[in-house]
Amino acid sequence: MRKMLPRKKNSVLKRIGRRIFKLTIFLILPIMIFLYVFQLKNINVTGSSRYNEQQIMERLISTKADKNTLILYLKYKYFTNVRIPFVEKLSFELVDRNSINIRVYDKRIIGCIEFMGDYLYFDKDGIIVESTLNRLEDIPLIKGLKYQKIVLNEKLEVQKEELYDVILNMTQQIEKRELKVDTITFNNNYEVTVDLGDIKAMLGKRSTYDEILAKLKNITLKAKGQKLTIDMRTGTDYFIAKPENQED
């Protein structure tokens, strides 16, 4: 009986060795091949006006597994919702085993307000979508709004619901005309004044601001370098302009 023990021991070791070999062949080797074949090499990011490709990838790739094309694609396509400030959503397209296309859809922000040192950004429905310490220069600062409470991801309740339609119309036209508007201010009568740095224009209260902003665009082109206050409340055919430092 004692002489047979070494044979049994050797037989057990051989069986363990065979199992390890089979595990390597049928499990570990395919994993290694999978990781090698699907290495992420090419990324094409489009659609964002606020983030470049590197900034987007820094938010998406956080582990070594994320550098695998298929894993990254499946992770964000079906299992994980990524939240990036000022981004509405991302769409992913698997091009080939080493390449992914990522389409970024920016949130439609129409304005911001300043509150206790922070800048709060809201969309066309008045929903506060983001908060930052430093202001984004391409988003107009809205002044003259009155509100009771401010909660992120909830609607900013202002004194008049129709003001959101006014702000949306104005920001669309400002973007279309490529006007660099710093602030949009409402007075107690809901008359609008816009500040473009060197030029301050009183636009009055209107149903739409398409025509008057087109006129303002022409004025800014002719008045480069001049600091003016322009009263455009009288109509659309003629306006009263005076140097900003002139006394009333």
Task: Return d(Cα 153, Cα 79) in angstroms, integer.
Answer: 23
> What does the pLDDT read at residue 20?
59
Give 148-169 pLDDT, tens digit per residue: 778 888 888 888 888 888 998 9
Give domain status of residue 235, yes or no.
yes
Residues 67 and 93 in one domain: yes
Give 46-95 pLDDT, tens digit per residue: 988 888 888 988 888 888 878 888 888 888 888 888 888 888 889 989 88
> What does the pLDDT read at residue 184?
95
The series of mean pLDDT values per 10 residues for the chain, 248 residues long, is 51 60 54 63 87 88 81 84 86 88 90 91 89 89 87 86 88 90 93 91 90 89 82 74 60
Residues 118 and 29 in one domain: no
Residues 72 and 29 in one domain: no
Q: What does the angle CA 235 – CA 192 – CA 158 come to, to the nearest 5 degrees? A: 145
> What does the pLDDT read at residue 141?
94
> What does the pLDDT read at residue 120?
94
Residues 98 and 186 in one domain: no
Residues 95 and 131 in one domain: no
- State both tokens at 72: 């990254």
Domain count of the fold of the chain: 3
DSSP the chain: -GGGHHHHHHHHHHHHHHHHHHHIIIIIHHHHHHHHHTB--EEEEES-SS--HHHHHHHH--SGGGGBHHHHHHIIIII-----TTEEEEEEEEEETTEEEEEEEE--EEEEEEETTEEEEEETT-BEEEEESSPPTTSPEEES--BS---TTSB--BS-TTHHHHHHHHHHHHHHHT----EEEE-TT--EEEE-SSEEEEEE--S--HHHHHHHHHHHHHSTT--EEEE-TT-SS--EEEETT---
| Separation in Å, CA 138 to CA 58, 116, 121, 192 | 24, 21, 12, 19
> What does the pLDDT read at residue 24?
56
Instruction: Decide the pairing of beta strands 141-143 and 183-186.
Output: parallel
Give domain status of residue 166, yes or no.
yes
- Boundary (domain end) residue, out of 86, 106, 126: 106
Residues 135 and 213 in one domain: yes
Task: Return d(Cα 39, Cα 57) in angstroms, integer.
Answer: 15
> What does the pLDDT read at residue 67?
83
> What does the pLDDT read at residue 138?
86
- Mean pLDDT for all residues in the chain: 82
Give domain status of residue 248, yes or no.
no
Residues 155 and 226 in one domain: yes
> What does the pLDDT read at residue 195?
94
Task: Return d(Cα 109, Cα 124) in angstroms, integer.
Answer: 7
- The CATH number for 184's domain is 3.40.50
Q: What does the angle CA 108 – CA 109 – CA 114 come to, to the nearest 5 degrees? A: 170
Give domain status of residue 231, yes or no.
yes
> What does the pLDDT read at residue 185?
95
Range of the domain at 7: 2-37
Residues 86 and 200 in one domain: no
Residues 58 and 155 in one domain: no
